[in-house]
């Protein structure tokens, strides 16, 4: 099965497209952490592998990536993950 790599940078609203953001700003979330990305993968029921690596364009920043099976388009998976991260942050804020 095909897999796709999703970096924390790909979902970060503070990044520009040229810095690595892959989804529209209206879906993107600021300051995405690897732990949140992992939590979102679990919440969506995705199989995933975590890799603590640095994104090449911003190697000095913390981050990482997950490798997930490609069940739909990569952009769709990233939007779903960003929405889930926003939802999880909102539920934590309410507690």
Say which DSSP state 31 is in.
S
Look at the pTM and tell me if it is higher than 0.85: yes
Determine contact, residues 69/60, Cβ cutoff 8 Å.
Answer: no
Would you state the pLDDT for residue 75? Answer: 96
CATH code (residue 15):
3.30.56.30
Could you say which residues of the chain have pLDDT below 50? none
Domain that holds residue 31: 3-94
DSSP-derived secondary structure letter, 26? T
CA distance 71 to 2: 8
pLDDT at residue 59 in the model = 87
Task: Give CA–CA dist 32/82, Å, rounded.
Answer: 9
What is the count of structural domains for the chain?
1
């Amino acid at each position: 099965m095909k897999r796709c790599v999703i970096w924390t940078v790909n979902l970060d609203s503070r990044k520009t497209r040229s810095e690595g953001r892959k989804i529209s700003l209206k879906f993107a979330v600021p300051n995405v952490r690897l732990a949140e990305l992992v939590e979102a993968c679990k919440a969506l029921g995705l199989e995933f592998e975590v890799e603590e690596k640095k994104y090449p364009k911003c190697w000095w920043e913390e981050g990482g990536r997950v490798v997930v099976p490609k069940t739909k388009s990569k952009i769709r998976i990233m939007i779903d993950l960003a929405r889930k991260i926003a939802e999880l942050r909102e539920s934590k804020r309410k507690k």
